Amino acid sequence: MLPLDPQADPGRRAWIPCPHCRDTHTCHTCQQQQTCPTHWRYLLTNTGTLLHLQCPTCTNVYTHETHFHTTTHHP
């Protein structure tokens, strides 16, 4: 199990499911896509639409592409 990243700050959170422990699969709040007080992730950094996260449950570090506000330019 990895230690928490030095950038891990509970004040910077994201609600993106962890691909390693999948702890949100049995949570009714998460399944309703609501802000769960239990299953949040540390938002370590972001680069544009790419989020760098760490799960506080299993300490897995992973990235997630949000595609938020990205558009496809058609010439």
pLDDT value at residue 70: 57
Q: Whose structure tokens read 């962890």?
A: 18
pLDDT value at residue 62: 96
- Single-letter residue type at 56: P
pLDDT value at residue 37: 94
User: What pTM was computed for the model?
Assistant: 0.81
> Is residue 61 in a domain?
yes
> Is residue 35 in a domain?
yes
pLDDT value at residue 71: 57
Q: Given a cut of 60, is residue 74 above it in pLDDT?
A: no
> Is residue 30 in a domain?
yes
> Is residue 50 in a domain?
yes
> Is residue 8 in a domain?
no
Count of the separate structural domains present in the chain: 1
Q: What's the average model confidence in pLDDT over 53-58?
A: 94
Query: Residue 18: exposed, middle, or buried by beta-carbon count in 10 A (0-12, 13-18, 19+)?
Result: buried
> Is residue 44 in a domain?
yes
- Full residue range of the structural domain in which residue 52 is found: 13-65
pLDDT value at residue 28: 94
Q: What's the average model confidence in pLDDT over 5-15?
A: 92
> Is residue 74 in a domain?
no
